[in-house]
Amino acid sequence: MNDHSERQIVAYFEAIDNWRAAYRLARLHVLGIRTGDALELVAARIVLDIGSDTVCKAAFRAGRVEAHQVLLAQDETDVQGVARALASAEEVYVAGIGRIRLPNTKQVGIYVAAPTLLHPEGLSAGSRLAVLSIGGGHIAEVLPQPATDWLLKAADSPYESVQELAIDYNVGTLRGDSALLEVVARTAIEVLTESAVTGNRASVGIWMAGSLDRTKAKLGFRVVHQGKVVQRGAIQGTDLAWSKHEIALVGTGEIEVPACSIVQCIASYAGEAHHIQWRADPATFLNPRAAILSLVDPSSSVIEACLHPDVPPRGKAADDFEAVIAWLLWALGFSIASFGTHPKTRDSFDVIATTPRGDFLVVECTLGLLRADGKLSKLNARTVSVRDLLAASNMKHLRVLPVIVTALTREQVEADAGPAADLGVLVVTREDLDGVQNELIRFPDADGFFERSLRVVQDRQSARKAERGAASLIDVQGGK
């Protein structure tokens, strides 16, 4: 292993060292190809978690293809050492699997990317998610298609494809043609789920692993009233009331707030923010547009049914999905025009939304994959048309952000996420839609939502450029 790879591994584990004691479990998720008496990794994750769930899926085997989930004994396994060994092209013995290794050749070696300590998937949920990525050699030769997918179809527990198998065993969607090992450190400290605002009192708290030091915990807060921040502060760990709950410590406190306020809660540990949540009094409406939605759909049952259609979708599910997306954008403060559900305009835009400042969202809705029926390409073409029209009208200063919204999960569309990022498209998945609904408790701020969305797109484009740079370096190093 070269010095660069060693530095990245050290940097990652140093970054999580302050709360490393929180991780009671290390779960290994593996998809690989049996080669002789060793398993070559196609995709794998070592997930560091604080939970008590020790249930693992049974091993899957079809020909040389295998998938496993096993627990790594924390008192016997040095996770950093495992990562270092695999990054050095060494084999590692794992009980229940045998010897595992990352494939590599003289042409394509092993490369450790700079750690992503605030991964976009975590940020979209308000959580700290740290990921270390170790890339290996090419996998296309060991997973020939369509032969591999048809092999899986004939298994005792059939799978439609390698992608479905990868998702089911939680190694993520296969990306590109290279093997990938990820070390994932989940959020170790969270805002207490029961945190709530009632009248002029906010009862707030922290949930964290019982092995952590309560004096290093802190609950920060920002109080927003009538669209403005009126109070900022923090309750130190020493001032929280602590109790023991199975594997966790729960610290609680109270703050006075103006009636009809919303509170942003920030759970921190050792000077690092770990989890962010918003809380509001359910008896009051701070967003007048959301209040109108509640008159139309008091229990949110219509919205939920349209956002989570049956599989496979039936009837007018696509039109219903698109309509609800327009409702949510309106509730967030956008001015919207919906064209996709009218038979004479459905071949133009699905939804156009504008902010009070005049910036545009060009929105494409789909119940399936991002590139199905050419949706991603059509969205890009329509976005270019809008930009050209604005430029021709001397309004080039107005920004245009393409958005594709899908009813599928992030993992289900991960294979399409790269091309979307390259085109500067914001991808909104099922998980993101749940987050959007949480936004409705806040006073509508379409301009702020646009700015945050634009930053997400820019961050993902930068990450894609870094990945391509790393892949190029792998090829260069392999060719030496």
Taking only the tens place, the pLDDT of each residue in 270-291 is: 999 999 998 888 777 667 888 8
- Between CA 212 and CA 234 the distance in angstroms is 19
141 vs 302, which has greater pLDDT?
302
Percent of the chain with pLDDT over 70: 94
Preceding peptide of 312 cis, ω within 30°: yes
**Cross-strand partners of 92:** 100
Q: What is the pLDDT of residues 18-47, one digit of tens each?
A: 999 899 889 999 999 998 889 999 999 999
To which residue do tokens 């740079």 refer?
Answer: 469
For 226-350, list the strands marked E by DSSP.
228-236, 241-245, 248-256, 262-269, 272-280, 335-338
127 phi and psi, to 5 degrees? -125, 150
Position 155: which residue type? A
Contact present, 152 and 62 (Cβ < 8 Å): yes
- Where in the chain are all domains bearing CATH 2.60.40.2440? 189-280
Which distant-in-sequence residues (6+ apart) come within 8 Å of 366 by Cβ? 318, 372, 373, 375, 404, 405, 406, 407
Query: How far is the CA of 432 from the CAs of 123, 170, 238, 267, 438, in angstroms?
Result: 11, 19, 35, 21, 10
Q: What is the pLDDT of residue 107?
A: 67
**Helix, strand or coil, per DSSP, at residue 285:** coil
Check whether 477 has a pLDDT greater than 60.
Answer: no
According to the model, what pLDDT value does residue 466 have?
Answer: 65
Q: What is the rounded end-to-end Cα distance, in angstroms, of the chain?
A: 15
Chain segment 442-475, per-residue pLDDT in tens: 778 898 889 989 988 888 887 777 665 555 554 5
Label residue 340 by pLDDT band (50, 70, 90): confident
Q: pTM, whole model, 2 decimals? A: 0.72
- Cβ pair 305, 327 in contact under 8 A: no
Six-digit token pair at 236?
Answer: 């130190």
Kindly report the average pLDDT of the chain as a whole number: 88
Q: Decide if pLDDT at 480 tops 50.
A: no
Tell the burial category of 227 from Cβ atoms under 10 Å away from its Cβ (0-12, 13-18, 19+).
Answer: exposed
Which letter does DSSP use for residue 114 in this model? P
Res 336: pLDDT: 93
φ, ψ at 116 (rounded to 5°): -100, 100
DSSP state of 127: B
Asked whether 44 and 32 are in contact (CB, 8 A), the reply is yes
Q: Could you report the per-residue pLDDT of 140-174, keeping only the tens digit for each?
A: 778 888 999 999 999 999 999 998 899 899 898 78
DSSP code of 212? Answer: S
189-280: which CATH topology? Immunoglobulin-like (2.60.40)
pLDDT at 475: 52
Question: For position 343, what pLDDT does the model report?
Answer: 79
Q: What is the pLDDT of residues 369-407, one digit of tens each?
A: 888 888 899 999 999 999 999 999 888 889 999 999 999
What is the average pLDDT across 353-376?
Answer: 90
Instruction: With beta carbons less than 8 A apart as the criterion, state whether 154 and 62 touch.
Output: yes
Q: What is the pLDDT of residue 37?
A: 87
Query: Which residue do the tokens 């050419």 mark?
Result: 374
Q: Are 152 and 165 in contact (CB under 8 A)?
A: yes
Q: Is the previous residue joined to 146 through a cis bond, with omega within 30 degrees of 0?
A: yes
Give CATH 3.40.91 domain extents, the chain: 288-466
CATH code given to domain 288-466: 3.40.91
Q: What is the pLDDT of residues 75-122, one digit of tens each?
A: 667 899 999 999 999 999 998 899 999 988 766 778 899 999 988 778
- Following DSSP, what letter does each residue of 338-356 receive, concatenated? E-TTSTTTTTS-SEEEE-T
The strand pairing partners of 184, in sequence order, are 47, 131
Top-ranked range on mean pLDDT: pick from 291-295, 356-360, 466-470? 356-360
Q: What is the Cα–Cα distance from 250 to 276, expressed in whole angstroms? A: 16
